[in-house]
Amino acid sequence: MKLKDKVALVTGAGSGIGKAIATLFAKEGAKVVVADIDPEKGQETADMIKQSGWDARYVQSDVSREADCEKMIQFTQAKFGKLDILCNNAGIAMVICPVENVSEELWDHIMAVNLKSVFLTCKIAIPIMKEQGGGIVINVSSVSGIRPRSGLCAYSASKSAVTTLTKALAIEAATHNIRINSISPVATDTPMLEDMMTDEMKENVEVTKQFVLATIPIGKFAQPEDIAKAALFLASEDASMVTGIDLPVDGGRSI
């Protein structure tokens, strides 16, 4: 098992990519704290992991709030005594629209959930990891931060900033045996894919999906498990010399 005796905190783990990451980490021996704003989905993930014979706890958290970020990290320490791996996966999408239709409130909300949350959790977790003698941070970004699509200005900007913040923090933390990397998934087969569609696009979802697929050289959507495997690599000793990178899991989309 690649993560035996490790303690991992995964945000946005109630569904999709976060759920897949939390499940794989637990399967590989980690004790996992499932953090999610939705108590029903978050508890469901934790229960599913426990029913498989692995160890997990759920904590409700709105990662855009510093108090909630502190709470979930303190919860992790209280339950398991340490924090080895922080996976910042929580994020939100936006419906495709031109910049003139993006309100200040929408912009701020996307930045708060997708970007500020990474700053807040790292601000709290990195000192803990320094004291422990090391740790690992994995931030889930997006290929939209590398090659933006039209109509997703706020989302793309937030994810590009996550990737740059990852690199900046990796430089700061490297001498403390803390590795910090990001993952940039392509369009992934989760409910968030349809969350980005306009009402017109939703009238013919399959046509819209085929249009998106045509931009992915490998010709298929990513699955949550694809991203989880990349996260496992970055969390494991297999990546002991890897820090400050962004790992595209994108079927060639960013080429």
Residue 228 burial (CB count, 10 A): 26
Estimate to the nearest angstrom the gap between the alpha carbon of 17 and the chain centroid: 7
Helix spans in the chain (H): 16-27, 39-51, 66-80, 104-111, 117-132, 153-173, 191-195, 199-202, 205-213, 224-235
58 is known as an active-site residue: no
Q: Which residue is catalytic, options 31, 155, 159, 161?
A: 155
Instruction: Evaluate whether 17 touches 39 at the Cβ level (below 8 Å).
Output: no
Instruction: Evaluate whether 83 touches 76 at the Cβ level (below 8 Å).
Output: yes
Query: Which sign, positive or negative, has the C-alpha torsion 8, 9, 13, 14?
Result: positive
Catalogue the active-site residues: 155
